[in-house]
Amino acid sequence: MENFKNIAIVGLGQIGNYLYNEIKTKKKEIEKKTGSKIKIVAISAKNKHKKRRFKIDKKIFFSNPLKIIKEEKIDILFECIGLADGISKKIVETALKNKIHVITPNKALISKHGDYLSKIAENNKVNLEFEASVAGGIPILKAIKEGLATNHIKKVYGILNGTTNYILSEMEKTNEVFEKVLIKAQRLGYAEPGNPKLDLNGFDAFAKVRILSALAFNNKISNHKCIMEGIENIDLKDIKIASQLNLKIKLLGISEIINNKLFETVHPCLVNKDSYIGNVNGVMNAVITQGKPIGESILQGEGAGPGPTSSSLLSDLLSILRGNINNPFGISHIKRKKIKPFDSNYYSNSLYLRFEVYDKSGVLSLITNRLAKFKISIKRIIQTPDKKNNKATIVIITHKTSEINAKNCLSIFKRNKNILKYPTLIRLYN
């Protein structure tokens, strides 16, 4: 008797629609590689009549996705709605409790409820797969769970958001300001047309960092406050100055173990132009793991868009069809531990500080004396006068200092009339 698997797709936005077509067109190839017959028996979206890229079979359409589980025999469900709570969580929870495998690209859902949902999956001996939730088409989660499973990983970092990487790359390439490049990114489909805030403010990348941490370090998903900064305040001036210093600005997500404690962060970093990460441009993502015995391992590819995302979704589908029943985070939820957070106040970096000031005597000494008071050592100073407006730009590169030192030191500059605005701070990647 042939092995039939019934599939449901919930959410027919850009990703769900593309996935539907991919399964339809690659059906024979999938069946050949897995030995299982597949059939899409149910689909669901808010709007049945919405114009879509591909023709949707309305005979299998459900307005209410929860009815699918009640009325159809489903083996595998794709959740492509994308919310952290509400119907996204409800449909995944209900499916797992009904012994249905779930595949999702929903990083918001997994980073918030992954522990809870993985426990349900394990108890019901079904899969909860989310390869597509981190870095699009890059198989980084499988690499950590399987390929690097016996390695002792100490650090995972990289470019985890294609939108921000495109904007920073394009600003450098075209000398166009942030606002102009953002509009271009929206037009090309790299940024949300309405509100791209979650990409720009670092939240999207931070959700991915938390998923990577859980897999790399076998810990429960953390919920402590950390440094999370986006690229909204990156000025074209900073991009140009960085280039003169043989540096580039990249938004990095970083997760590492420091003194047996977990440190997670997302923020813009200055990286060397000649470094590997410095040469990952456009919408590309790159994830780097550091551990023993393998040392450094790098995976790079397109991190956004329906094509790369569907590639990972289908990878998870093939894994399930081949009979690979896995714990969602690699090991049982019982064995996963809580790791105490590293206090971000003591996170240490060299700093790039840009001051916009009135070009008056004593202003530079005011800044340097203040830095010295907090034991922040200066490595380099660049001063660019604007004689026409009696202003100047002062850029200071420091030696390593702690977050708390930098914060306390810079606070005074809010109140000084010769400092035109609060200094721009960008960390150099360690």
Query: Parallel, antiparallel, or unpaired: how do β-strands 152-159 and 128-129 relate?
Result: unpaired
Distance in angstroms (rounded) separating the CA atoms of residues 31 and 3? 10
Per-residue CA distances from 135 to 130, 132, 300 (Å): 11, 7, 9
- Check 145, 208, 248, 250 and give the catalytic one: 208
102 forms beta bridges with 77, 128
User: Are the C-beta atoms of residues 287 and 158 closer than 8 Å to each other?
Assistant: yes
SS3 sequence of 103-159: ECCCHHHHHHHHHHHHHHHHHCCCCEECHHHCCCCCCHHHHHHHHCCCCEEEEEEEE
- The structure tokens listed for 97 are 């409790």
Left (φ > 0), alpha (ψ -120 to 50) or beta: where does 421 sit?
beta
33 is catalytic: no
Of 399, 403, 380, 383, nearest to 391 by C-alpha is: 383
Question: Which pairs count as long-range contacts for 290-298, CB under 8 Å and 24+ apart, including other chains?
Answer: 290/153, 290/154, 290/155, 290/156, 291/148, 291/151, 291/152, 291/153, 291/154, 291/155, 292/151, 292/152, 292/154, 293/151, 294/148, 294/151, 297/143, 297/148
List the catalytic residues: 208
